[in-house]
Structure 1
Amino acid sequence: MRLLVLGGTEFVGRAVADAAPARGWQVTVFHRGRHDPPAGAVSLLGDRADSDGLAALGVGAWDVVVDTWAGAPTAVRDAARLLAGRAGHYVYVSSRSVYAHPAPAGLTEAAPVVDGSPDAGEVAYPQAKRGGELAATGAFGDRALLVRAGLILGPRENVGRLPWWLTRIARGGPVLAPGPRDLPLQYIDVRDLADWILGAVDRGLGGPYNLVGPPGHTTMRDLLDTCVGVTGAPAELCWAEPDTILAAGIQPWNDLPLWLPPGDLHAALHGTDVTKALATGLRCRPVAETVADTWTWLRSLSGRPPLRTDHAPVGLAPEKEAEILRSLGRHAD
């Protein structure tokens, strides 16, 4: 199999490019040259934001293209049209964000989606991903596979959610832990996502698939306890009820990454139906493996982990954490 990854040097694209050689696939990555390509991959340079940015893709043929683009849908449209006659399948890594609000718990791939256009320029993230889906299907029809990923964690994470928790806990001392402890979390390890994508290509799958682990794959307590264990830090988790956290002006998801208080939004984001993906080979590794491998990766870096520039930084400011810890009768070191 000849695989072309549009991107291929960072988080999701890199996981796909890294997993393919084990299957005997030949890998080509098309990227801007800002990061080193995977070992053994053919590297093509270009910037999709430029008017002639796809020139390096003007020749060549591939069995499958994997595209993780999250910006203007026109970039997906132009690439898909260019490659439609020279590639067998087009995998577009989309997002659960394409579903219309309010999104019910247990939603399937048949749930309503937001409006989008393959001809749109810069638009909001849900509309951008939906436009990308339409661009892929417009050029490839039923040869397009739409991977509606949920929360993605694991080594090389470039949003910084799990890395923030690991880094904070590694500092030790009292750590604000958002409750309830048994709050279920639904996510996908990036390597499990990559393995499913490659297996789906082998099966010739097309159309939309929700791609995230089963609901309740782990809990807030299990995740943070595992962070304490793998870092070996002298950290103490200080659990606080959701009302206490919200009353302090702390923002769920951004200030305290991964966490949403119980309610409709949590149920929608952490209760997706993944029956279709599980029936087609999705396998999810234990949370302990995801956390431990992410920590190993973080420690291998000479500096801070690279973060996406199109995401606002995540994590609670130390002074804000210290303030709420004092209100709980604890004092940060």
Structure 2
Amino acid sequence: MRLLLLGGTEFVGRAVAEAALARGWEVTALNRGTRPAPEGVRVLHGDRTAEGGLAALATGEWDAVVDTWSWAPAAVRDSARLLNGRIGHYAYVSSRSVYDYPLTSGAGEAAAVVDSSPDLTGEVPYAEAKRGAELALEAEFGGSALLARAGLILGPYEDIGRLPWWLNRIARGGPVLAPGPRDLPLQYIDVRDLAGWLLDAVAARLAGPYNVVSPSGHATMGELLDACVRAAGPAAELRWTDPEKILAAGVAPWTELPIWLAPGELYDFLHTGSVERALAAGLRCRPVAETVEDTWAWLRSIGGEAPQRADRPPVGLDPEREVELLK
């Protein structure tokens, strides 16, 4: 298989490239050349937001495209137009954020989505950016493109810092503010499971939207943090705290306490979606302990500091604030 990778090779793109190379696929990536691609990837240079930025793709044919673009959807529109007729299949890593909020617990791919346009440029809110890209592909390929609506993505090379923050915090030891309830079901996807499913899906030419995330409860908040303690900080003491107390103290879920959301509308939106369609199409999710252990091994291999995406603010609770809250 000849695979063209668009949208970067830092996190999801890297996992896709490495998985494809391991299968013996030929991988080409378009990027700006600011950071190295995985060894074995043929690199073409171009900036999708600049005039003439797709010139490197003017010739060539590929069996499949995997596009992870997260910004203005016009870039996906232009790529699709340029490549149509020279590719076998187009897969886009979208997001469950495209669904209209609030979302009924257990909702599937038929749920209502946000309004958007494939022609948007400049700074576009995340949900509208992802939905606009979906619309661009639907217009260009008539429903034959794959729309992989991923949820929370964790694993090695994470460049947002959610799981790395928990690992580094627990590695420091001492009392740790652990947001309850301990048995709160989580819904996420290991980046390598997402990549493997994407490659199987493009080989099978799956089309349309799929929620690509683990079943809700594949792990709980307690299981996740217990795995972090075993991997990174056996001296840490998890202090489980009721969500009502955390919210009353003004702590921001998801950002100050990454991954965690208190039970309610936003929790239902992000942690209770239906994934029956993806499971029927072969999605398999590894144990949470493996995700945690491998992420910790990667962090140690790079000195402990995870890379940070420029378009996302750092996450995590300030240490002094945590001490005050624990008191």
> Which bracket does the TM-score occupy, shorter chain normalised?
over 0.9
Cα shift at 1:33: 1.1
Partner of 1:329: none
Partner of 2:287: 286
User: Could you say what secondary structure the match of 2:253 adopts?
Assistant: coil
CA distance in 2, matches of 1:169, 1:81: 47
Structure 1 residues 48-73: Cα deviation after superposition (integer angstroms, max 9, x where no partner): 11111111111111011111111101
CA distance in 2, matches of 1:241, 1:142: 45
Cα shift at 1:97: 0.5
Structure 1 residues 233-256: Cα deviation after superposition (integer angstroms, max 9, x where no partner): 410001110111111110000000
Change (3 A) 1:154 1:78: same
Matches within 5 A, 1:2-21: 2-21=2-21
Q: Which amino acid aligns with 1:77?
A: R
CA distance in 1, matches of 2:212, 2:197: 9
Q: Which amino acid aligns with 1:150?
A: G
Cα shift at 1:303: 6.0
Cα shift at 1:264: 2.1
Partner of 2:148: 147
Partner of 2:90: 90
TM-score by length of 1: 0.96
Q: Which runs of 5+ in 1 are unaligned?
A: 327-333
1:203 aligns with 2:198: no
User: Could you say what secondary structure the match of 1:14 adopts?
Assistant: helix
Partner of 2:99: 99
Partner of 1:24: 24
Structure 1 residues 134-182: Cα deviation after superposition (integer angstroms, max 9, x where no partner): 1122222233100000000000001100000000000011000000100
Q: Is the 8 A contact 2:168 2:304 kept in 1?
A: no
Cα shift at 1:8: 4.2
Q: Is the 8 A contact 1:171 1:233 kept in 2?
A: no
Partner of 2:75: 75
CA distance in 2, matches of 1:98, 1:181: 29
Q: Which amino acid aligns with 1:161?
A: R
Q: Is the 8 A contact 1:89 1:140 kept in 2?
A: no
Q: Which amino acid aligns with 2:166?
A: W
Cα shift at 1:232: 3.9
User: Could you say what secondary structure the match of 2:324 adopts?
Assistant: helix
Q: Which amino acid aligns with 1:132?
A: A
CA distance in 2, matches of 1:68, 1:140: 17
1:44 aligns with 2:44: yes
Q: Which amino acid aligns with 1:173?
A: G
Cα shift at 1:101: 1.2
1:130 aligns with 2:134: no
Partner of 1:186: 187
Q: Is the 8 A contact 2:77 2:133 kept in 1?
A: yes
Q: Which runs of 5+ in 2 are unaligned?
A: none
CA distance in 2, matches of 1:192, 1:166: 21
Structure 1 residues 243-297: Cα deviation after superposition (integer angstroms, max 9, x where no partner): 1111111000000000001112212211110000000000000000000000000
TM-score by length of 2: 0.98
CA distance in 2, matches of 1:7, 1:32: 10
**What RMSD in Å do the two structures reach over aligned CA positions?**
1.0
Cα shift at 1:32: 1.1
Matches within 5 A, 1:246-265: 246-265=247-266
CA distance in 1, matches of 2:16, 2:97: 21
CA distance in 2, matches of 1:242, 1:176: 11
User: Could you say what secondary structure the match of 2:254 adopts?
Assistant: coil
User: Could you say what secondary structure the match of 1:79 adopts?
Assistant: helix
User: Could you say what secondary structure the match of 1:142 adopts?
Assistant: coil
Matches within 5 A, 1:166-177: 166-177=167-178
Q: Which amino acid aligns with 1:315?
A: G
CA distance in 2, matches of 1:233, 1:309: 32
User: Could you say what secondary structure the match of 2:4 adopts?
Assistant: strand
CA distance in 1, matches of 2:232, 2:113: 40
CA distance in 1, matches of 2:310, 2:234: 30
Query: What is the aligned-residue identity percentage?
Result: 66
Matches within 5 A, 1:107-122: 107-121=107-121, 122=123
Q: How many residues align?
A: 326
Q: Which amino acid aligns with 1:63?
A: D
Structure 1 moving runs of 4+ over 4 Å: none
CA distance in 1, matches of 2:8, 2:253: 31
CA distance in 2, matches of 1:96, 1:161: 18
CA distance in 2, matches of 1:233, 1:29: 41
Structure 1 residues 118-138: Cα deviation after superposition (integer angstroms, max 9, x where no partner): 001132111110000011222
Partner of 1:237: 238
1:266 aligns with 2:274: no
